């Protein structure tokens, strides 16, 4: 599917399969050898990241993406689990997994190492390879052409369902059905911005596959 065609579908298709590397749409994550810090898919609340996306729109690409990811609970929890996995008491090396400074430092390093500039977008596409974990990949995108920011998540299993989404957020603002998936769309709209969350859902079993959050500031 071309970027142009995908853009006519919905934000999640464009940014998950066009602006960021195609691996976000195709690759599978293999299980790691250590259990990560407890977190469920339902602990994720897309509304919590919206203020940071809004702030990112007024910042340069790399700086904005770093700020968003440093304040994203899912990634902070995952990075904390990686720090915990490094603990080697016998060697006197055991970094504190709840060290906020160390977590932020490592997220900044992820952005520094993985950021790419593609199609006038700054993009960080980070795989969460240490499993089990509710999510398998996080991508943050900031447009370098206009003030817009995006955050995407791929879920690692099929346990989070459309019914769970509705229980948490209520009736969707909009719904749609495409060839291979359906979508639930939620929206926050105020005087400063419009932010949408698109949940991509498998219509066969109701499993949530991906989530894409977008934010576009309003002109004043």
Give yes or no for a contact between 41 and 208, defined as CB atoms under 8 angstroms apart. Answer: yes
Q: What is the pLDDT of residues 160-204, one digit of tens each?
A: 999 999 999 999 999 999 888 999 999 999 999 999 999 999 999
Tens digits of residue pLDDT in 129-161: 998 999 999 999 999 999 999 999 999 999 999
Q: In Å, what is the CA distance from 182 to each residue of 2, 178, 206?
A: 20, 6, 9
Question: Can you give the residue range of the structural domain that contains 33?
Answer: 3-217
Q: Tens digits of per-residue pLDDT, 76-122? A: 999 998 888 887 666 556 655 557 888 999 999 999 999 999 999 99
Q: pLDDT band at 17, cuts 50/70/90?
A: very low
| Predicted pLDDT of residue 99 | 74
Cis before 132? omega within 30: yes
- Mean pLDDT, residues 8-26: 44
CA distances to 34, 72, 86, 103, 116 from 95, in Å? 16, 21, 7, 10, 30
C-alpha R_g of the chain: 17
DSSP states along 186-216: EEEE-SSEEEEEEEEE-TTT-BEEEEEEEEE
Report the Cα 183 to chain-centroid distance in Å: 16
Characterize 130-149 residue by residue with b for buried, 16 or more Cβ atoms within 10 angstroms of its Cβ, and e for exposed.
Answer: bbebbbbbbbbbbbeeebbb
Measured between alpha carbons, how far is 140 from 49 in angstroms, rounded to an integer? 11
Higher pLDDT, 52 or 35: 52
State the Cα–Cα distance between residues 160 and 107, nearest whole angstrom. Answer: 26
Using the predicted structure, report yes or no on whether residue 67 has a pLDDT greater than 80.
Answer: yes
Q: What is the pLDDT of residue 84?
A: 84
Question: What is the rounded average pLDDT for all residues in the chain?
Answer: 84
Kindly state the tokens that stand for 127: 């795989």
Structure confidence at residue 29 (pLDDT): 37
Question: What's the total number of domains in the chain?
Answer: 1
| Burial per residue of 32-68, b for 16 or more beta-carbon CB atoms within 10 angstroms, e otherwise | beeebbebebeebebeebbebbbebbebebbebbbbb
Q: What is the per-residue pLDDT for 89? A: 65
Burial of 93 (0-12, 13-18, 19+ CB in 10 A): exposed
- d(CA 207, CA 184) in angstroms, rounded, equals 12
- Cα–Cα distance measured from residue 6 to residue 91, given in angstroms and rounded to the nearest whole number: 51
Residue 34's pLDDT is what? Answer: 39
């Amino acid at each position: 599917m071309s970027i142009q065609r995908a853009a006519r579908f919905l934000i999640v298709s464009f940014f998950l399969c066009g602006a960021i590397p195609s691996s976000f749409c195709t690759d599978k994550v293999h299980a790691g050898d250590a259990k990560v810090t407890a977190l469920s898919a339902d602990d994720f609340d897309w509304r919590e990241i919206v203020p940071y996306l809004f702030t990112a729109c007024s910042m340069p690409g790399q700086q904005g993406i770093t700020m968003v990811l440093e304040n994203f609970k899912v990634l902070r929890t995952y990075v904390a689990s990686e720090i915990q996995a490094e603990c080697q008491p016998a060697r006197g090396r055991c970094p504190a997994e709840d060290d906020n400074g160390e977590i932020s430092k490592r997220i900044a390093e992820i952005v520094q190492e993985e950021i790419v500039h593609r199609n006038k977008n700054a993009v960080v596409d980070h795989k969460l390879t240490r499993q089990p974990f509710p999510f398998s990949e996080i991508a943050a995108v900031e447009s370098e052409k206009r003030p817009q920011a995006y955050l995407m998540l791929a879920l690692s299993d099929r346990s989070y369902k459309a019914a769970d989404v509705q229980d948490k957020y209520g009736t969707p603002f909009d719904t749609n059905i495409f060839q291979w998936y359906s979508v639930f769309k939620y929206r926050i709209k105020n005087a400063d911005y419009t932010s949408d969350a698109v949940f991509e859902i498998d219509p066969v079993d109701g499993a949530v596959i991906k989530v894409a959050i977008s934010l576009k500031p309003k002109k004043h």
